[in-house]
Structure 1
């Protein structure tokens, strides 16, 4: 499904309100914890494809577990099935998933004595896991890897006979996601510590019954920060959000403040408002802790006619696609002057954007959603637009509610 997006000019949003689905990151962590501790209940969970795949895998009994494009599910479930004594599964996924490395996590689980083998290429899914009781409790892991490897280990650690002591070697990246995992464990009264480069999770057989409410997804909110910045005038209220969020992407508030968006909170509602007469300047952002919002930011900058230099993006190479190369290809179609390295992106300031460009999405939900706000400036075509269901199935309907004109081609 290809969609053409256009808007009226001038484009304004007058005090609109939207409810955003629960965070995929929090939901998938809590789904795994619920599988370990069935007496907890969950509310406001994500309706994303990734979370549905995670739920199906955790509640099913199939020997072959296919998680399609869901990278988080691949990492978390690898750890879950590894410590699920007596269960044998083959974890597989889409062709792209079979190109995404899993070796670092497998090697770490093997340190704990788990039996995991590769069905095809060494270091990549599909993998065969023979779950066993784990008594070893100390492992080391490179600190600059995807935080999902680290969180996968931390989520199952309390169910290990002797808990887990995880030593991270080098400079730690994506700390907010590690802290999110630890905060959710703390909410269940699971004892943890994080001192220097050593994280400890202590064993716990059971937890008290409790309802865990998932905060709405900040990555999904990023597209409305972008809309607000690009509109001629805008005021959008989103729910349900916390001012002191566990999600690293809540850094959007301070980043978009530098692009003319003011954020205020009232209860669990967050209001975004475009600052009239804002003095726009090129931006320089270090996104080590928030790489998932890089696509949104660079598209916003193109639409605003400002340049940007974004660093800390090394994990984008192994996402649903190589997001840095994908951004370079698609932004170049729009007339942008952009360069990328293994961990950075530079966009040169420009006043012109090509019209009616077809944006490829590469099986990547964030490519589709990040480019959509650009329709405020020029008509744009999003290829394979249904890919948004991976994290935000209601995205196109929510844009229509804000007076985007969307037609299927």
Structure 2
């Protein structure tokens, strides 16, 4: 693995992490925000939900634009919008303005989520793409480890509003990083890209069962984590009595499992093939999440049990997410930005729906959250059997990629 390969993975991972950093860093502050702004739990959760909705909707536009004008310009514009939203959120006088500026932040964050995946597809396919994607996930996944810890420290020392000033500063640093990024979609490759080609691309992708199946396997996997994001701070801080700092440590444990396993993706793909890796990993992921639901349903409400089973389940998920992303984009290099955008939009929309549904049943205990996580895992498992079990190119695809 060359230094250039590693530098690119670091850069793309950091750009991808800007949006998630804005989520994870303020999670420990959700109860404090509600108290300070005199807002209900559902209203505070809305500030998280609208971020996902805005990011999902924005990707539909940003992806095709990155095919038309290149990868760098959308990143610049997105980061500027993100910074504006961060300043607004930091100064928000009430929950309504906070929700609005979180929506603006989400619009800005979408470029950092969709464009790096397209850049990976511009440069690599197969095992090399899986290696780059897993390294990108390594950097990207540092956010769930460092962001809550950093956020809890900032909240305790300077209040929740300081979190948004910090993420705004991070966006400005990212703007400087984009300046050194090499354009991976040169002008000659953009000639055929237009609004019409984008619409045709979306129509083609929506008719591609393999693309949709792989996208939604990843979508339900990501949704289970979104459900955890939206509920965990209230459950762990209010229900289990953890401090914001201890909550951050607990939250980080699952990210460690995800990161560690995701780094095995390239090696396992080279030996067994990406499709076999996904089929096996999704079985482990669903099995342990269903086990957690069964245990919780029988009234075993223990933090150590919750931590252990989530750690194992999200470890398996670390193999599923990068593998399904690479496989879904494999056949769509000419419209990589559009395909990446549709993938991101569908996945974030699925996550938003899952969060909203679980939020309706939120009762202060872990059961609704665990039920939502297990439900997403089961749906991912079912889709994996349908998509990867009957794929007509299965024999060829199972061979390890060169």
Query: Which fold has the larger relative contact order, with Cα–Cα distance below 8 Å and residues 6 or more apart in sequence?
Result: 2
TM-score, scaled relative to structure 2: 0.25
- Which structure has the bigger radius of gyration? 1
Indicate the structure with greater strand content: 1
**Structure with more of its chain in helix, by fraction:** 2
